[in-house]
Structure 1
Amino acid sequence: MIDLRLLREDPEAVRASQRLRGDSVDAVDDLLRADESRRSAVASFEALRGEQKQLGKLMPKATGDEKAALLARTKDLAAEVKAAEAAVNEAEQVLRAAQFAIANVVQDGAPGGGEDDYVVLREVGERPVFDNPRDHLALGELLGAIDTERGAKVSGARFYYMTGVGALLQLGLLQMGLWQSVEAGFTPMIPPVLVKPESMEGTGFLGSHAAEVYHLPADDLYLVGTSEVPLAAYHKDEILNLGDGPLRYAGWSSCFRREAGSYGKDTRGIIRVHQFDKVEMFSYCDPADAAEEHLRLLAWEEEMLGKLELAYRVIDVAAGDLGSSAARKFDCEAWLPTQNRYMEVTSTSNCTTFQARRLNTRFRDADGKTQTVATLNGTLATTRMLVALLEQHQQPDGSVRVPKALQPFVGGRDVLEPAKAGS
């Protein structure tokens, strides 16, 4: 949630952010009123509690009519304090709801608009050209690497099996990403993929993205769509030591998404599926360093794509497509020869203090004062990268060249050959 001090000092900045996102500006005024109501309720409660304490000091010395009057006032005051406390609780609930209705304040420089209003920052690598390219599913079936037919038979649409060299490719890709993160100083983690509601809510995934999330009502637990969620909640209600710089974690997990609202989109193959694996970078840092840390995460993503020898571009995502937690987001999109378009393969977001404020994660500054920490995340390796890898590195006979950096992680294979008929 946003910083109430920013709201009070510069409400127009919050309104401007709402306009960039295409969200309600009236929500800012609602929050201002809720904040004022809570502060007024707290002031009334504290004044009554102060009077109550003062009466407590006078009572032992009082006698006769004075004591009777004090007793009567004490009785009335107890009821007033109880009512005032209830008013504070109610005002706090209204304030919380109003805060949750407003997304993070967009960082200066982010483009305004919706999904199609991104800005291309750069294109990297030469896009391969083929006479008659096969798409990733056709290649995966030739290689005996992807089986969507049996995935649908067993689990339904948008499920699949990674088989043979496909399983090796996915595991190899993720291991390569994880080792890159370790070499960069990240702590590797395999987090839980089921989380409590407060963890999911704290990271901003129960707002506009709630329809995307799988919920287990019997246990009141949620399946995560990214390990960003358990990594963000890892230090919930803690005060961190950032004396040596950012705390960085790399989480390897399976991820689950309902893909609600994506009917008819990317239904072929493994582009948009319900389950996939991912290595996610996550950083806790001083808010003053967050913009610079964001560029570091992007650089590590680009390093990974360079190792995979993929042609890609980097885009600055428009405000209306950021999601509620992000103040700025950069996507890397790999080229798909068969669709003549770019496809998102990594995303990195600067969430500033938005998530940490909800999760009560703080750090001590140079003066020893506790401050809210900034959180950032970024994809380092994911199943979807295999789509671009297969298509960009295919050869006329249906075989696929393995990038040199990936070869040690797939048993030294330099080329993946089509599987023999019947195998």
Structure 2
Amino acid sequence: MKENLQAVEQNTKNRASNANPRKAVELYDEFVRLKSETDRLRAERNSNSAQMKGKLEKEQRDQLIAKGQQLKEELAVIEEKLAQVESQMQYEGQRVPNLTHPAVPIGGEENAAVLNMIGSQQQFGFTPKDHVAIAEALDMVDFDSASEVSGQKFYYLRNAGALLELALVNWAMTKVVAKHGFTPLMTPDLVKASVLEKCGFQPRGTETQVYSIQDSQLCLTGTAEVPLGGVYMDKVLKESDLPIKMAAFGHCFRTEAGAAGAAGKGLYRVHQFSKVEMFVLCTPAQSEALHEELRQIEVELFSELGLHFKVLDMPSCDLGAPAYRKFDVEAWMPGLNRYGEISSASNCTDYQSRRLNIRYRPSSQGHSDSDDGSSSDGSGAKQGGKKGGKKGGGSSDRGTEFVYTLNATACAVPRMIVAILENFQQEDGSVIVPEPLRPFLGGMEVIKPPARKAGH
């Protein structure tokens, strides 16, 4: 950052980030100065102590004792300042976003580039309803009870709604595990705030999306990306073990600070939801091909369901801090009369792995930390989810390099339910179940209102 400050500042500006790279560099310079002063005082203190070991006159010993006390006090002041500066430096440094892929459009959401347009909009011989009206008529969801129990933006899934969530999760997990070689995991919903920060998320501040547990270092995770990123924290892997591909089912919790309006209606934007997340560790040279692989998996999944959607190369202002490049999938939602995001796939390069200290040992020479990932060997995945290697040695671990990390959504359940209900609704209020989900729903082909019990 210090050696490329102007470029980093421009990148931060392009991404509309409020980070301050110059301040981070200034704090680094101050940290180096204080560290040097601390080392000097410690050396002087040690020298002073060594002089007291021999036979000394009382006056000379008293002078050395006084000098030792003075050095101790000076050192305590400097060490306290050093700790404060280091903390500030870490905070400011962690706010600086990743670099940006040269192909990423510069600007806001309106500058997103359409990479694929799959399928076509459903045509209806009637006015389509939104998913809230459909789900409530089919007794699939209960917002009112949830608002009494938990508050706004929570929900109960009932009857076919509950079964549909389980079907979507099992379908997505089966596809990515059986066909694409991902290792399945069930992850913790609570993670340490430090791990969350190392993955590039900010658990503090008025606009945070993170729920923190009071009087605890734990937070509710907003995505399984975080606990998956932590699986290999402080580990050194063998190059032959890469890429490692993991898929996790997890619950996601988000404050949705600042979210309001039509986009927040019903199931589209909620505080808690289930998701199947894909996460990959790889070498820099493998990363771009794997990013494309993740994109193609998403296209395959949503095409199989019969959805109409577009794949976008997201612009610089829409990238989260860890992402070097991000592809979004937006599905057509006729009830909402717009496209809505249902998935994304990000290449985070070494932004997360540097903080998590996940390294690999190249099997041969010729590898470099400066590799921009523009080439790929297209190698297959190795089994993930099991800790391997040994404890990493930080930046002093010679002969190792940082892995690259990628993540992608296989299935964010509530938004998939929105897309399915709105696209496959029928005039009589029923909903056609996409064929791939039927085996996971006991053969159910159509969602109809549940039969009423006698006397009701």
Q: How high is the TM-score relative to the length of structure 1?
A: 0.88
Closer, same or farther: CA 211–23 of 1 in aligned 2, 3 Å: closer
AA partner of residue 365 (structure 1): P
| Residue aligning to 2:141 | 146
Closer, same or farther: CA 37–218 of 1 in aligned 2, 3 Å: closer
| Residue aligning to 1:179 | 174
Residue 391 (structure 1) shift: 1.6
More deviation, 64-73/81-90 = 64-73
More deviation, 305-314/153-162 = 153-162
| Residue aligning to 1:363 | 360
CA RMSD of aligned residues (A): 2.8
| Residue aligning to 1:390 | 421
Closer, same or farther: CA 290–50 of 1 in aligned 2, 3 Å: farther
Q: Does 1:330 align with 2:323?
A: no
- Structure 1 contact 129–337 (Cα < 8 Å) conserved: no
**Matching residue within 112, 132, 155 for 1:118:** 112
| Residue aligning to 1:413 | 444
Query: Matched residue of 1:258: which SS?
Result: coil
Closer, same or farther: CA 214–61 of 1 in aligned 2, 3 Å: closer
Deviations along 1:7-51, whole A, 9 cap, x unmatched? Answer: 1332222112112112358x2221221122222222333344445
User: 5+ residue gaps in structure 1?
Assistant: 1-6
Residue 100 (structure 1) shift: 2.6
**Matching residue within 373, 376, 392 for 2:406:** 376
Aligned residues: 416
AA partner of residue 425 (structure 2): Q
- Structure 1 contact 307–406 (Cα < 8 Å) conserved: no
Query: Matched residue of 2:134: which SS?
Result: helix
**Matching residue within 43, 56, 60 for 2:36:** 43
AA partner of residue 108 (structure 2): G
More deviation, 67-76/152-161 = 67-76
Q: Does 1:201 align with 2:190?
A: no
CA distance in 2, matches of 1:216, 1:82: 33
| Residue aligning to 1:90 | 84
| Residue aligning to 1:129 | 123
Deviations along 1:114-162, whole A, 9 cap, x unmatched? Answer: 2333222221112211132222222223333222233334333222221
Deviations along 1:202-239, whole A, 9 cap, x unmatched? Answer: 22132678532222214443222211122222233333
CA distance in 2, matches of 1:259, 1:76: 53
Matches within 5 A, 1:239-254: 239-254=236-251
CA distance in 1, matches of 2:172, 2:91: 39
- Structure 2 contact 192–219 (Cα < 8 Å) conserved: yes
Matches within 5 A, 1:7-406: 7-24=1-18, 27-52=20-45, 76-132=70-126, 133-183=128-178, 184-203=180-199, 204-206=201-203, 211-366=208-363, 369-383=399-413, 384-406=415-437
User: 5+ residue gaps in structure 2?
Assistant: 366-397
AA partner of residue 193 (structure 1): D
More deviation, 183-192/93-102 = 93-102
Percent identity, aligned pairs only, is 37
Residue 265 (structure 1) shift: 3.5
CA distance in 2, matches of 1:91, 1:306: 52
| Residue aligning to 2:371 | none
- Structure 1 contact 201–207 (Cα < 8 Å) conserved: no
More deviation, 396-405/76-85 = 76-85
Closer, same or farther: CA 95–219 of 1 in aligned 2, 3 Å: closer
Query: Matched residue of 1:231: which SS?
Result: helix
More deviation, 192-201/73-82 = 73-82
AA partner of residue 94 (structure 2): F
AA partner of residue 161 (structure 1): Y
AA partner of residue 400 (structure 1): V
Query: Matched residue of 1:284: which SS?
Result: strand
CA distance in 1, matches of 2:229, 2:306: 31
Closer, same or farther: CA 317–177 of 1 in aligned 2, 3 Å: same
CA distance in 2, matches of 1:396, 1:94: 60
CA distance in 2, matches of 1:93, 1:211: 20
Residue 192 (structure 1) shift: 1.1
Residue 255 (structure 1) shift: 1.4
CA distance in 1, matches of 2:134, 2:214: 40
- Structure 2 contact 230–356 (Cα < 8 Å) conserved: yes
Query: Matched residue of 2:436: which SS?
Result: coil
Residue 78 (structure 1) shift: 4.6
AA partner of residue 125 (structure 1): G
AA partner of residue 95 (structure 1): M
